[in-house]
Amino acid sequence: DPDEDVKALVGMGVDKLKKRLKEHMEKYKNTPVNIAVTGMSGSGKSSFINRIRDLKPKDECAAKVGVTETTTDRRSYEFPDNELIKIWDLPGAETEKFPINTYAKDMKFEEYDAFVILTKDRFLETDKRIAQIITESKKPFFFGRTKTDTAMKNEAIDNGDNFNPNITKELIKKNCKDELDDNCRDVFLLAKVNSIK
């Protein structure tokens, strides 16, 4: 069943990235840390923040989500189990209000210790530019491709019996690494489906 393959393969993306973030943050238990979640409008930044905080969109302190642009100002949220760690939800890059040429300045990139860059569907020039700006600032970043479950389902429909979820997963990761010009970087495939235990 392609749907079960998709859930088993990409459902763990958020959990893996969450684990990786927690590992890096352990060493900062007593130090304030600011992590910005950035990317284009609609890439799932607010949904990601809710997921790593184990919140649903309707929860009182959840980041606002929607099918239209909902994040219009940068806003911080406390990381679970450590109030010194702040996760910043940034408005989407390359919108009319936040063009890429002034995005880093407008979003105060210099104030963050690390970044999570999220892209959706296809890797775009704006995603690459954000990565370049962060790399030039010599700050670390994690890279995640959201909505992977939808991409996998579409690939399964298009290819029928020839669909191979592992090959598709590797093609998506390779494309992101190639676009980032960084074959050593981890690329996290994120989906809204829950992990299969």
| Span 177-197, pLDDT tens digits | 999 988 888 999 998 765 433
Q: Given this model, what pLDDT does residue 5 score?
A: 44
Pairing of strands 82-89, 75-79: antiparallel
pLDDT for residue 19? 76
Count Cβ atoms within 10 A of the Cβ of residue 95 and give its class: 0-12 exposed, 13-18 middle, 19 or more buried: middle
Residue 126 has pLDDT above 50, yes or no: yes
pLDDT band of residue 15 (cuts 50, 70, 90) is confident
pLDDT digits (tens, 9 = 90+) for 89-105: 999 998 899 999 999 99
Q: Specify the 3-state DSSP secondary structure of 127.
A: helix
Contacts of 45 (CB under 8 A, 6+ apart): 37, 38, 39, 63, 71, 89, 90, 92, 118
Residues 6+ apart with CB under 8 A from 65: 46, 47, 50, 57
- 3-state DSSP assignment of residue 66: coil
The residue-averaged pLDDT of 70-91 equals 87
Residues 24-48: pLDDT tens digits?
667 666 789 999 999 998 898 999 9
